[in-house]
Amino acid sequence: MTSDSEGGSPYGSIGDSVEKQSAGQGGAGATSGGVGSGTSTPYSSGTSDAPYKSTPNSIYEKIGNDNTVASRAFYDNHGNQFCRQDFNTDGHYDRATHQECGSNHQHNYGYNDKGQKNYEGAEPMPDGYNDKPSVNKNNALSQ
């Protein structure tokens, strides 16, 4: 998984900018958010599980009934999901990495040159992430 120098989002700070997408991408109840200029990261959210493939270099957030993020997925330049963060779950043990993953953890995926998944592992959530939506209901960046 690639990440910025501070160990955060693989696309830099999501607060830098978010690009508007057409509604409906990312499953039932999907919304799109966006403000800003310059470099942007496509963003969408909804109540459905994150799709395995989506807009290249984008982020999808599954929003729970309590308006917090249940999961957040990051997509690579081919539109493959390479990381999914899960929040407020029962947690589990990951046999691939031999780690106990707490209620907040992330799943990492790797792909070969043909786009086929060839790695899957889970680990505790890195510092700097939380279950607050990246874009609020008014399509403004959350603080």
Closest CA to 59 of 26, 27, 104, 35: 26
Q: Cα separation of 65 and 123, whole Å?
A: 25
What per-residue confidence (pLDDT) applies to 92?
76
Closest CA to 140 of 26, 14, 8, 25: 14
> Which of the four pLDDT bands, split at 50, 70 and 90, describes residue 142?
low
> Which of the four pLDDT bands, split at 50, 70 and 90, describes residue 20?
very low
- The pair of three-digit structure tokens given for residue 97, joined into one six-digit string: 């990495």
What number is the average pLDDT over the span 27-55? 72
Contact 70, 87 (CB under 8 A): yes
Give the residue carrying structure tokens 């942007």. Answer: 40
Higher pLDDT, 135 or 36: 135
What number is the average pLDDT over the span 34-51? 78
Averaged pLDDT of the chain? 74
Contact 21, 3 (CB under 8 A): no
Digit-coded pLDDT (tens) for 68-80: 999 999 999 999 9
Residue 5 has pLDDT above 70, yes or no: no
Give the residue carrying structure tokens 């779950």. Answer: 89
DSSP 49: P
> Which of the four pLDDT bands, split at 50, 70 and 90, describes residue 138?
low
Closest CA to 27 of 55, 68, 66: 55
What per-residue confidence (pLDDT) applies to 69?
96
Digit-coded pLDDT (tens) for 69-123: 999 999 999 999 999 999 998 777 777 777 777 789 999 999 999 999 999 988 8
> Which of the four pLDDT bands, split at 50, 70 and 90, describes residue 24?
very low
